[in-house]
Amino acid sequence: MNSPLQRLLRAIDPAQTYEQCARRSNDALNTFKMPPALITDWYRFQGCLIRFMQHLDQHLLGLPPSAPTNVQMLWSRCLEVLRSSDGKSGAMAAFECARTGNEGGLYQVLKTMARSLADEYALAQIKVQVSAFWGSLSIPAKLAATDEYLQIAGHLVPSEMAEAGAVRIRADLPKVLIEHPKLLWQLQKALRR
């Protein structure tokens, strides 16, 4: 019989989280109707990103197509994603790429947004599942889950976290569990190269 921890690890496996969100974001990118030429007008650029953000949300969350309900909110989210991937000048740098076609142009801007949002959604999904798992356990079950995690995946954690009886892992297993799928995903991508 599978333990609650084993069920959680299967649910947050990179194939169920990061890879699934990456596939959905790639599908959104591939099905988005791109403008036919360079975008030299700021408002056309803004409108294109807003439409893409809505399209991306529909694919990542499985929402039906609909008209934007709050354009300002979508634009704020675009700015946030651009800043997180390119710093303070994210929107201006992205517009410059779309305007000139340099550095991959608009396609690269949209691809960066898609990748960033896919990672964000996967991480949110993982956090919710880990929180629900951890909140459902009693104190003795939490201690047992920590020991079980060390048996199952102790070889994957960095050596500095495993030293001194793995006290750092024992002190905050939920944080370790949240990072677990990303670590596995990075290892899998490195092995494929």
pLDDT in tens, the chain (193 residues): 589 999 999 999 999 999 999 999 999 999 999 887 789 999 999 999 999 999 999 999 888 877 667 889 999 999 999 988 766 678 899 999 999 998 889 999 999 999 999 999 999 999 999 999 999 999 999 989 988 998 888 887 777 776 677 777 878 899 999 999 998 888 888 888 7
Instruction: Please check whether residue 169 is in contact with residue 146, taking contact to mean a CB–CB distance below 8 angstroms.
Output: yes
Domain holding 39, by residue range, is: 18-121
Whether residues 109 and 128 fall in one domain: no
Q: What pLDDT score was predicted for residue 187?
A: 84
Whether residues 84 and 129 fall in one domain: no
Q: What pLDDT score was predicted for residue 88?
A: 61
For 173-187, the DSSP string reads HHHHHHHHHHHHHHH
- What is the SS3 string spanning 70-127? CHHHHHHHHHHHHHHHHCCCHHHHHHHHHHHCHHHHHHHHHHHHHHHHHHHHHHHHHH
The structural domain count of the chain equals 2
* 3, part of any domain: no
Whether residues 65 and 159 fall in one domain: no
Whether residues 47 and 133 fall in one domain: no
Whether residues 74 and 155 fall in one domain: no
* 63, part of any domain: yes
Whether residues 136 and 49 fall in one domain: no
Whether residues 162 and 74 fall in one domain: no
Q: What pLDDT score was predicted for residue 55?
A: 93
* 50, part of any domain: yes
Last residue of a domain, one of 121, 148, 180: 121
Q: Give the residue from 55, 56, 49 showing the smallest Cα distance to 82.
A: 49
